[in-house]
């Protein structure tokens, strides 16, 4: 069974940092392209970062709102995806999901349940 489980969310003050983790199982992790997306309260989903698998060179991309503040990386030996979030802003408040493509091309057929990040003073 495919599973993605996010953790690490919580309440943090503006300017603070947080590290999210996404533990994966049930699929070949090291070749999977992995993404972080988020959903702010009352808003739609927004893509924020991607790291490709080893066969694609592990290329990394970020959305403009998080470029320079967030860092995505993966530990293939632990089947875990990470997102380091620095210089957090109130507008980063959202539920964060890790997602990937497994069987259905050009879509995301594996999602975690998400972890909530609240940035507030």
Residues interacting with another protein, by CB under 8 A? 4, 35, 37, 43-47, 50, 61, 63-64, 97, 103-109, 111-114
| Whole-Å CA distances, 65 to 27, 28, 70 | 30, 30, 9
Give the shortest CB-17-to-another protein separation in angstroms: 24
Q: How far is Cα of residue 19 from the mean position of the Cα atoms in its chain?
A: 10
How many CB atoms are located within 10 Å of the residue 66 CB? 21
Q: Smallest gap, in angstroms, from Cβ of residue 32 to another protein?
A: 15
SS3 assignment, position 110? strand
104 vs 121, which CB is nearer to another protein? Answer: 104
| Residue among 17 and 59 whose Cβ is closer to another protein | 59
Task: Quote the least distance from Cβ 114 to another protein, whole Å.
Answer: 7
> Measured from the CB atom, is 15 or 60 closer to another protein?
60
Nearer to another protein, 6 or 82 (CB): 6
Alpha helices (H) in 8-121, listed in sequence order: none
Backbone angles phi, psi at 55, to 5 degrees: -70, -20
């Amino acid at each position: 069974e495919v599973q993605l489980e996010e953790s690490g969310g919580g309440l943090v003050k503006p300017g603070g940092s947080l590290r999210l983790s996404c533990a994966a199982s049930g699929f070949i992790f090291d070749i999977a392209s992995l993404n972080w997306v988020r959903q702010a309260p009352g808003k739609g989903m927004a893509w924020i970062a991607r790291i490709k698998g080893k066969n694609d060179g592990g290329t990394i991309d970020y959305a403009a709102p998080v470029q320079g503040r967030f860092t995505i990386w993966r530990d293939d030996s632990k089947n875990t995806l990470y997102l380091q979030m620095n210089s957090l802003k109130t507008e980063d408040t959202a539920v964060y999901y890790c997602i990937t493509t497994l069987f259905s091309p050009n879509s995301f057929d594996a999602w975690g349940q998400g972890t909530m990040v609240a940035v507030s003073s």
